[in-house]
Structure 1
Amino acid sequence: MSAVAPDGRKMLRLEVRNAQTPIERKPEWIKTRAKMGPEYTKMQNLVKSEGLHTVCQEAGCPNIYECWEDREATFLIGGDQCTRRCDFCQIDTGKPEPLDRDEPRRVGESVVTMDLNYATITGVARDDLEDGGAWLYAETVRQIHRQTTNRADGRTKVELLAPDFNANPDQLAEVFSSRPEVFAHNVETVPRIFKRIRPGFRYDRSLKVITEARDFGLVTKSNLILGMGETREEISEALRQLHDAGCELVTITQYLRPSVRHHPVERWVKPQEFVELKDEAEQIGFSGVMSGPLVRSSYRAGRLFQMAKEKRGAYTASQAV
């Protein structure tokens, strides 16, 4: 077996070990049907004619038909090279290009052109930058809000799916002050295997970032990917820990292996278990839950945000009685 990755670099020892396990065959329930409604078709034509780029089409997301029908889309900022490596993620690890300070404005223009109701902004970790990329994330939120202020259907709502910024108080303050409608930070997996799966992150630090965002007043969200070696009991414990940390919204999904270099799939979680986990998460107290084999962290993001708003409104009303 060649020890060279597709991008020409030498494979890491972990990648060589992963590659010894062939790509797994997906079960029958891991499939989606294309449902092309009028809004999706309009968005598809617009993206193509304007030369726009979204994570939705470039990553081949199975939920693109539903999200675009709701006029929701996801954008990746900060380049295509991440300074950290997670064993499930298809984004390459390497030295990023210099910061593109015009990127936030261009993303804002794309959101305006697509006339989005809801935009999810995600990106790579930029530990090479003095501020960890905090300005880039914050400015993208500000640009979208600013450029859509006079939108006929109301200002575009923004969900920021961000790295942990090493829990640096100044960097978090910069990001929080941009006031995204939702601040999302994904823990992705359970404590026992966290360091192996996400060596550049720390589980407790991720929980701390979520708590800080909630304390700032932002709606908070996270994601769990199943099938990387966790147990059923560990999933339940992680859900409780997330909720205790102040997380209001959660998505739960099946791990799909991007390539042989990535972590092998340990198990295929059956649809019924996702239903049970949704019920459990709601009983724990999450305001909104999306759970399913093909759910992604930005799936039905606008609807989840609305659930959090309604839950907060109901709580405020009850306190006033």
Structure 2
Amino acid sequence: MEHRFLFPKCLDQCSQGLVNNVVFTSHTVEQRHPLLVQLQTLIRATNPTAAFILAENGIVTRNEDIELILSENSFSNPQMLHSRYLMFPGWYEGKFDSGSVFPLMVQICVWFDRPLERTRFVTKCKAIQSSIKPSPFSGNIYHILGKVKFSDSEKTMEVCHNTLTNSLSIMPVLEGPTPPPNSRSTPQDSGQPECYLVFIGCSLKEDSLKDWLRQSAKQRPQRKALKTRGMLTQQEIKTIHVKRHLDPLPAGYFYNGTQFVNFFGDKTDFHPLMDQFMNDYVEEANREIERYNRELEQQEYRDLFEQKP
């Protein structure tokens, strides 16, 4: 059954010794429906002796099927007892262990106080579908739900994202009457974060989810690197030329309106002092970058999961 999974423990619950009848309530009208045939094949491999009963929409029409369902002794016949004792030793003592579920689905709730950036959050959610990995599905996020705030609104939003359908719903939380305080209950902790998201998926890790969510919040601006002569673009060089091509010329040069000509008749498209002009430009740009970096360091930045003071 490509791209399909049985409900966890379905085949375990259909094992020999435990089940003698299996009733199919859909896809029974069509002759040998592919899904019905596949499911019957799987169950037959698990339980070769089980009787299959076709009952569309739960309606049993054959007398012999009703007799199979209502039989009082078929579950306790020697063959069933023999299968139970051999396949599930200790079942009569409550030691029934059918193993772990695969794939292992987990649910992790992440709390935070600070608003998210709506555009970044939507983009991140929409990108999850393309990152879904095949078996063993580790790290796959299949569903996100919760209540958050966005920087463009004061309202609390209820969000719900389904990865397989790639559908995202963002709706304002409906405001209702606040219930009266209950003297018996423990007062709520005022330090409890306002926003939360519940992630449902396979083998998820909280730290990875927090890193994913941080990318949906306002990003801390990065420091700018200082410029060098080699980093100047052709457009910047052209701008320097346009701005300073009429600066005073050194002795032995003149400008003919198009090019710069020296005493020997050599011509060049750039001012003879262009190297100095470029150095001046880099120095001025670096002063602006250093000022920007100083201001950046003075700005207060709080992590998405840092609680409000």
Confirm or deny a common fold (TM above 0.5).
no
Q: Which has the larger radius of gyration?
A: 2
TM-score where L is the length of structure 2: 0.19
TM-score normalised by structure 1 residue count: 0.19
Choose between structure 1 and 2: higher strand proportion.
Answer: 2
